[in-house]
Amino acid sequence: MIAYLEHFVHENDSEPMLQQQHEELATTLCQSMDLEGTIDYRSTAYAGKDFGGLHASTPFAVVRPSGSRDIASVIRFALRSPNLTVAARGNGHSINGQAMANRGLVIDMKRSSETVIDVVRLDDGYAVDVGGGALWEDVLKRCVSNFGLSPRSWTDYLGLTVGGTLSNAGVSGQTFRYGPQTSNVTELEVVTGNGDTVICSDAQNSELYFSVLGGLGQFGIITRARVLVQPAPNMVRWIRVVYSEFAEFTRDAESLTTRPEGESFDYVEGFVFVNSDDPVNGWPSVLLDPDQLLDPVFLTRSANPVLYCLEVALHYSKGNCSSTVETRIERLLGRLRFMEDALFQVDIGYIDFLLRVKEAEKQAKVNGIWDAPHPWLNLFVSKASIVDFDRFVFKKILKDGIGGPMLVYPIPRNKWDERTSVVLPDGDIFYIVALLRFTNPYQKSPSVRDLVAQNHEIIQVCVRNGLDFKLYLPHYNTEEGWKQHFGDRWSRFVEMKSRYDPMAILAPGQKIFTRHQSC
């Protein structure tokens, strides 16, 4: 069987398979792997693309497993082959081909199961067990509607899978309080690159557990996660305030993200925008409600090329006394030094707040910019370097905007578990910087190649000026790049790889290791 497969993987480059051959192969492979799910050789094009739209590949086949047993079978099958690789594909929302397997097997995790959620009682609260392929959006809806519970730590956009974000970190405006999503699970079920299905946690198989969290899919495929939850509020006051000076913005943002619970908002983020009336990059991007009109007076308030918006939110319940909520918000806002009257706010349902990017997605799909390439760059920049980053990058290189959000907000390091595979810059506080570029296919705009080059320029400027930073959702093409990224944690990463995926079968699209050839 393996020899038969190799024939198709390697020798049939120029001869497309006939439909009958496809079907024969699918049936034979399904039997050989003993799959309960399906394998598809024809409708595979989607698995050779991703949200970034910068890379393409040709998977050999897409497997739609019925559960973790199928996933283990696929990995064991690949282990027996001379050089097959296996990529778990969450929702393919990576930028640089990380979920691809050129000529390998792509496991479509999103279709692996329905989002079935079981509540688990812990000593000090509750958690839910969810499949690795579940979309966070579905987890949210089911947790709230079935149990009145909600995960504590989110990403801004919820069309991402549980396994996909846990393989990176998963950050958003709640990270300052609860840590990234990798700090908000207590147990995982993982199918390793050896084909073993292992339950792991802090107390059980902890080496695998911490390697997998933020492990870029290198050690195993997450088939289930136990996610911490808490009672869900039903309303949110969503507020944006504007600063003309970076120092004041960072002072207030750092203060809000390091105060004890009860003395701050429930969500804190921030972004940089252009001091103009440009609808995408300028002041209009700060408005929270289409009915809010921009007062022209704001446009003349500051001579700075870019301004800073602090975005905060407070949870409350419809039953709360409105004057108590107002008093709390006034007290919290009263300690901030934003530009006078540059305050915008709306009340919104909790689920709508968490799904806020979905609205933008709908609009972007209509405009064609959702499906166009996204040369995004995400960084963690230490507090010690963020002023220089503002000076060199926001105020110079990006002073005209990027056609999308330029997020920047602080995170205390003590909310991260240093035993996971995620690497962070030094210091007690670092900033998340996300340059979320959108390119408009219908308008004259810089080429994607120029934007990728600008990302390289930003990285080079950071390196040349000695800024302390790490790439988030990292992407390197050379081993040297990865070694530098991991620094003194590289040898541990390599050791864990040799233990849990010794043939380097998993997540080849990360381009960290090369599949070992079997004889």
Ligand X SMILES: Cc1cc2nc3c(=O)[nH]c(=O)nc-3n(C[C@H](O)[C@H](O)[C@H](O)COP(=O)(O)OP(=O)(O)OC[C@H]3O[C@@H](n4cnc5c(N)ncnc54)[C@H](O)[C@@H]3O)c2cc1C
Buried b (16+ CB within 10 A) or exposed e, 123-136: eeebbbebbbbbbb
Nearer to ligand X, 221 or 256 (CB): 221
Q: Give the shortest CB-181-to-ligand X separation in angstroms.
A: 7
How buried is 245 (Cβ within 10 angstroms: 0-12 exposed, 13-18 middle, 19+ buried)?
middle
Residue 254 falls in the annotated catalytic set: no
Residue 55 falls in the annotated catalytic set: no
Beta-carbon contacts of residue 293 (< 8 Å; ≥ 6 apart): 287
223 close to 284: Cβ distance less than 8 angstroms: no
Q: Give the shortest CB-188-to-ligand X separation in angstroms.
A: 9
Report d(CA 477, CA 498) in Å as an integer: 20
Nearer to ligand X, 102 or 276 (CB): 102
Given the residues 189, 269, 390, 501, the one annotated as active site: 269
Beta-carbon contacts of residue 171 (< 8 Å; ≥ 6 apart): 155, 180, 181, 411, 432, 472
Q: Check residue 7 and report its DSSP letter.
A: I
Within 10 A of 415 (CB to CB), how many other CB atoms are there? 17
Q: Give the shortest CB-220-to-ligand X separation in angstroms.
A: 7
Q: Give the shortest CB-399-to-ligand X separation in angstroms.
A: 24
Nearer to ligand X, 160 or 236 (CB): 160
For the record, the structure tokens of 347 come out as 């009340």
The residues binding ligand X (CB under 6 A) are: 51, 87-94, 98-99, 109, 132, 155-157, 160-161, 163-165, 167-172, 216-217, 221-222, 473, 507, 509-510
Given the residues 156, 196, 248, 361, the one annotated as active site: 156
For the record, the structure tokens of 446 come out as 């810089």
Q: Give the shortest CB-169-to-ligand X separation in angstroms.
A: 6
Residue 263 falls in the annotated catalytic set: no
Nearer to ligand X, 265 or 392 (CB): 265
Nearer to ligand X, 342 or 373 (CB): 373
Q: Give the shortest CB-18-to-ligand X separation in angstroms.
A: 30
- Range 197-202 contact pairs with CB under 8 angstroms and sequence separation of 24 or more: 197/68, 197/69, 197/72, 197/223, 201/226
Q: Helix 19-33 crosses helix 68-80 at what angle (to 10 degrees)?
A: 100
What amino acid occupies position 150?
S
Given the residues 50, 55, 70, 93, the one annotated as active site: 93
How does DSSP assign 110-130, residue by residue?
Answer: GGSS----EEEEETTEEEEEE
Nearer to ligand X, 79 or 339 (CB): 79
What backbone torsions phi and psi does residue 496 show, to the nearest 5 degrees? -65, -35
Any idea which residues carry the catalytic annotation? 93, 156, 269
